[in-house]
Structure 1
Amino acid sequence: MQAKTIMTTPVVAIDPSASIADAAGLMLSSKISGLPVIRIDGVLVGIISEGDFLRRGELGTQRKRPRWLEFLVSPGRVAEEYVLANGRRVEEVMTDSVVTASPNASLAEVVELMTHHRIKRVPIVDGGKVVGMIARSDLLRALLHTQPTSTPTTIDDEQIRQSIVAELAAQKWAGKDLINVTVDKGIVKLSGAIFDERERQAAIVAAENVAGVKGVEDNLFCAEPLSVILVS
C-alpha cells in the first residue's frame, strides 16, 4: 500500500503570513491537529500544529526556568523561545524543517518517518507541491479497511491447523515443534511449552488471525528453558 492510496486530499493549508488565531481557528473548524504552511506560489515552507501553541505567553505556559539555570542557556535560545511564545504570525511559530514523503512511498516508509522524527503527520509532496497529507488517523482508517468483515465457514479443520502451524514456524519467538496445534470444528487448542509469557499472547494472536478460527483454547505452559526435555 502506498501513501497516495490513503492520503487526505484536498489539503487544508495556511499562508505563512496568516495570524496564529487564523491557524487555530482553521484547525478547530476542520477538526485537524496540524496544517502545512504553503506560500501563494504553492511552495511548502513549514508546518504548524497544536504543539506549537503549548508554550504561549497568553496562557502563561511559556517556558520558565530556575534563575540559576537561565545562566546556562544561550541568549539566542532564549530569544527563540520568546518568539515562539509571543509571535503573532504563522511563519514566526511554525516548524520550518518539514519531513515529507512522495506519493509512491510505502506506508512502512511513512510510519518509519513518523516514529523516527516523532511527528504525527507527513505532507505528501509531488513535483515540489503538496498533494496530500497523512496523519495517524489516516493510518487508523487504512487499518480498519484491512480488517475482515466476515469469516468463511467452509474451511476444513486440517487446513486451519496447517495454516497456524505454518505461521508459527515462520516466527522466531515460536520454538520449533514446541507448540502443538489441534483444531476441532474451528476451535483451536494450543498446548506445549513457551519460555516467555509474552509468547502466549503471540501464539493466540497467530491462531486468531487464521481464517475459519472460531475460538482459541490456551493450554500452553511457561517453563524455564532447561526444564523442558524433548522426547522423540
Structure 2
Amino acid sequence: MRAADIMTTRIVSATPDMSVRQAAGTMVFAGISGMPVIDEDGKLLGIVTEGDLMHRAEIGTGVKHRAWWLELVASTRELASQYVKEHARRVGDVMSTDVTTVTETCPVADIAELLERKRIKRVPVVRDGKVVGVVSRANLIRALVTMAPELPVDADISDHSIREAVLAAMADHPWALARENVIVENGTVHLWTRVASEDEVNAIRVAAENAPGVKGVVTHIGPPAAVAPLD
C-alpha cells in the first residue's frame, strides 16, 4: 500500500498572506490540527499547525518572562523568532518551513515510521513540488480498518501446521521461544516461557494469535509441562 492509496486529496490549505486568526478558524471548522501553506500555483511553502499558534499574545499564552539564566542562554535569534510567533498577523510569518514530505509512491509503512520518528501528525504528498494530498495519522487508522480484516479461524488446519506457523512468526526475533516450548492441542497454543518482561510475553502471545487456525492462546510462566509437542 502506498501514499496514493490512502491520502486525502481534498486538501484544506492556507496561503502565506492569510491572517493567523483566519487560519485558526479554518482548522477549527475543518476539524484538523494543521494544514499546508501553498502559493497560488499550488507549490508547498510550509505548514501551519496548532503548535505554531499555541503561544499568542492576543490570548495571553505567550512565553512568560524566562529565568535570567535562560535569557542568557537563548540567542538573540531565538528570542526574535519567538516574538514573531507570538505577534505576527500573517501565516507566512508563523508557519514552519522545514517541512517533511513524501511522494505518492511512498510505502505506507515508511510513512508510519516517519510520523513516529519526526513526532508529527501529518505529511504532505507532493508531485513536482506541488501538494497533491496529505497523509495523516487518521488516514493510517482508516487504512487499518478497511484493509486488515480479522483472520478467520479455520478448523481444518492441523495442530502441526498451527505450530509451524507460530514458530515461523517468531523466527529471528530475540524474544522467540524454543521449539519445544510451543505446544498445540486442538487448536489451542500453549506457550511456555520463563520469567520475562511483560512486553516479551505480549510479543510471544501476539505472534501466536496471528497464526492461521489458532483458536486460543495460553501463556505459561515456568518450565514446560511433560507433554510431547505434536509434530
Distance 1:147 1:29, change over 3 A: same
1:61 is aligned to: 61
What per-residue deviation string (whole Å, max 9, x for no partner) do you get for residues 42-93 of structure 1? 1110100111111111222212212343233222221111110011111011
**Identity over aligned pairs, percent:** 41
Contact 1:38/1:44, CA 8 A, preserved across alignment: yes
Matched, 1:198 2:199: yes
Instruction: Name the stretch that deviates more: 203-212 or 80-89.
Output: 203-212
CA contact (8 A) 2:192 2:222 kept: yes
The answer for unaligned runs of 5 or more in structure 2 is 224-231
Please identify, of 186-195 and 127-136, the stretch whose mean Cα deviation from structure 2 is larger.
186-195
Aligned partner of 2:46: which letter?
Answer: G
Aligned pairs (5 A) from 1:166-205: 166-177=168-179, 179-184=181-186, 186-193=187-194, 195-205=196-206
SS for the counterpart of 1:137 is: helix
- CA distance in 2 between counterparts of 1:76 and 1:203 reads 51
C-alpha change, 1:108 and 1:153, in structure 2 (3 Å) is closer
8 Å Cα contact 1:180/1:192 also seen in 2:
no
**TM-score, normalised to structure 2's length?**
0.87
Correspondence 1:69-148 to 2 at 5 A = 69-148=70-149
Q: Please tell me whether the aligned partners of residues 37 and 48 of structure 1 are also in contact (alpha carbons under 8 angstroms).
A: yes
Q: What is the Cα-based RMSD across aligned positions, in Å?
A: 2.1
Structure 1, gaps ≥5 residues long: 223-232
Q: CA deviation at 1:183?
A: 2.7
Which residue number corresponds to residue 167 of structure 2?
165
Equivalent pairs counted in the alignment come to: 222
* Counterpart in the other structure of 2:228: none
AA partner of residue 14 (structure 2):
I
Instruction: Report how far residue 4 of structure 1 moved.
Output: 0.9
Give the Cα–Cα distance (whole angstroms) in 2 for the partners of residues 93 and 84 of structure 1: 5
- Equivalent pair of 2:175/2:204 in contact (CA under 8 Å): no
After superposition, the Cα gap between the structure-2 partners of 1:46 and 1:156, relative to the gap in structure 1 and judged at 3 Å, is same
Q: If the length of structure 1 is used for normalisation, what is the TM-score?
A: 0.86
Q: Is the 8 A contact 1:9 1:131 kept in 2?
A: yes
